[in-house]
Amino acid sequence: MVSISFVRQLRVAALLVMLSIPLILPASLHAFHGLFLPAYGARQAGLGGASLALGGSVMDLQNNPSGLALLDEGLFEAGIALNRASITYNDRTYFPGENVYFENHNRFNPVSPLPYMGYATPVGDRFAFGMALYAQGGGGAEIDGIYRRAAAETTSSGGVSPSAYVSEDLKFRFVHAKLTMGGAASFGRLRVGLAVDLSYGTNRLDRTLTVLPGVGAAIEENNPLSYIQAPGGFHYRSRPAYAPSGKIGFSYDFNESWSVSYAYTADSQLELDGMMRADSTDAMRQGSSRVERTLAWPDRHSAGIAYRGSAVTVAFDLHYIPWSRHFDRMTFQMDRPMVGTPLGPVSPALVWNLRWKDQVVGAIGLEYRVDNLAYRIGTSYGKTPIPAEGLSPFLGSTTEYHFSVGLGYTRGRGSLDVAFEYAPGRMIKGSPLSDWAISRQVQGAAFQFERSTSTKGLYIGMRYKI
């Protein structure tokens, strides 16, 4: 039996989760396996994210809700992941007819504080219930001062010479958080869990172009002006989007030491409708246009196996993410032609061909306990789903290998977990057939570009039995 009533526990859980909402929603997220974080929870991060078959954590609501059935007391968990990404973007442009060559080298280091909070408790001998709020994943980038030749989307709007050069600034931000409520039941050695997710998402995108006077042939007799904000840019803001989803999980204990698990999380259809404003001298494109857009956060299949000994715990997880069904292209549909294309025509739709591939992620972790200390080490690997023909400066991560170490300290009814995670960068060269390259292959230009991402993360979490 637990020391406080179930109704009181439910009220405590709801209050704690609501208090954490202001902490999560403003964060700009930088995920590492595609758009997914490598681990949810500080203990799980020390194990490289391998935790599906372990159970006994509030964050089982994200990984595998059947793990809640292992709780014998009410448990409150809270923590934060401080992630620092190092994103490098390089490109090279050559105009053979003019014998003009220039390069761009951009590096930015966004830092993302990603908190989580939740509460779970047993209800009787066979059931458990919990709720949690946490960052699900996302992405963001801010690249300033990409030097390039003006394309028709800028020059056809009037006043800008085709020989002008421009500076391009890009800002992209996508935030995705989840509120999850679920329960689990034990049937002998079998544990079954169900959870309902409420996803929150928001997105913004800014592209700003500025003509550079005095650079190359930027100022000519027919182009005496430089623009503070040149035609060709656009600015999108989504409304907050909410979408239901859910997950189911199973665990089977062969004995006190060995367990296997499977979990399935359904996709979330985030209706990121909003407004689009274009930078243009055309009177027909003034003001803002309504935008219809759906982002389908992918479903995920997960399987795990774990060994729990008196001093040693070993866990292995495998995840399958069908990105290709959800991230083949991204479309912003407007109610009238607003956005210019590199060749000049104005379109009522902004389309990005992403062409992401399906992804398999494997993780393994080891924990060794001595008295009230736990030492952890783990690693995970997943080939990036981003192909060369879908590469861009801002969406998704190119990291593949992740390494982590962690430490846990338990005293009385509380415990503190700390983990450090590192993912080395991998440079990907973009294809000349990618949308990003095609938009820059203007006036006979030969264009090449590449991008890499590396990350460092510090996870801090606490657990307290109530």
| pLDDT tens column, 288-312 | 999 999 999 999 999 999 999 999 9
Q: What is the band of 446 on the pLDDT scale with cuts at 50, 70, 90?
A: very high
pLDDT value of position 36: 84
pLDDT tens, residue by residue, 90-113: 999 999 988 989 999 988 888 888
Q: Give dist(CA 392, CA 451) in Å, integer.
A: 8
Collapsing DSSP to helix, strand or coil, 24 comes out as: helix
Q: Give dist(CA 440, CA 135) in Å, integer.
A: 35
Contact 145, 169 (CB under 8 A): yes
pLDDT value of position 158: 63
pLDDT reading at 11 higher than 70:
no
What size, in residues, is the chain?
A: 466
pLDDT value of position 138: 66
pLDDT value of position 216: 47
pLDDT tens, residue by residue, 176-193: 899 999 999 999 999 999
Q: Give dist(CA 321, CA 37) in Å, integer.
A: 13
- The sign of the dihedral angle between the CA atoms of 112, 460, 119, 301 is positive
pLDDT tens, residue by residue, 252-281: 999 999 999 999 999 999 999 999 998 888
Instruction: Give the domain 6-465 fold.
Output: Porin (2.40.160)
pLDDT value of position 232: 85
In eight-state DSSP terms, residue 332 is: E
Q: Give dist(CA 177, CA 243) in Å, integer.
A: 11
Contact 113, 21 (CB under 8 A): no
Closest CA to 243 of 157, 354, 347, 326: 326
Q: Give dist(CA 220, CA 178) in Å, integer.
A: 54
Which run of H or E residues covers position 168?
strand 165-187
Q: Give dist(CA 323, CA 358) in Å, integer.
A: 5
Q: Give dist(CA 105, CA 97) in Å, integer.
A: 24
Structure tokens at 108: 């930015």
Collapsing DSSP to helix, strand or coil, 130 comes out as: strand
Closest CA to 309 of 251, 369, 354: 369
pLDDT value of position 4: 43
pLDDT value of position 157: 66
> pTM of the entire structure?
0.88
Q: What is the band of 341 on the pLDDT scale with cuts at 50, 70, 90?
A: confident
Which run of H or E residues covers position 152?
helix 152-155
Residues 6+ away with beta carbon under 8 Å from 461 = 41, 42, 43, 77, 78, 79, 80, 116, 416, 417, 418
Structure tokens at 176: 């995705």
Q: Which residue has the tokens 């590096």?
A: 107
37-41, 117-121, 310-314: range with lowest mean pLDDT? 37-41
The radius of gyration of the chain from alpha carbons, rounded to an integer in Å, stands at: 25
Structure tokens at 337: 């032609």
pLDDT tens, residue by residue, 139-168: 677 888 898 888 877 777 666 777 788 889
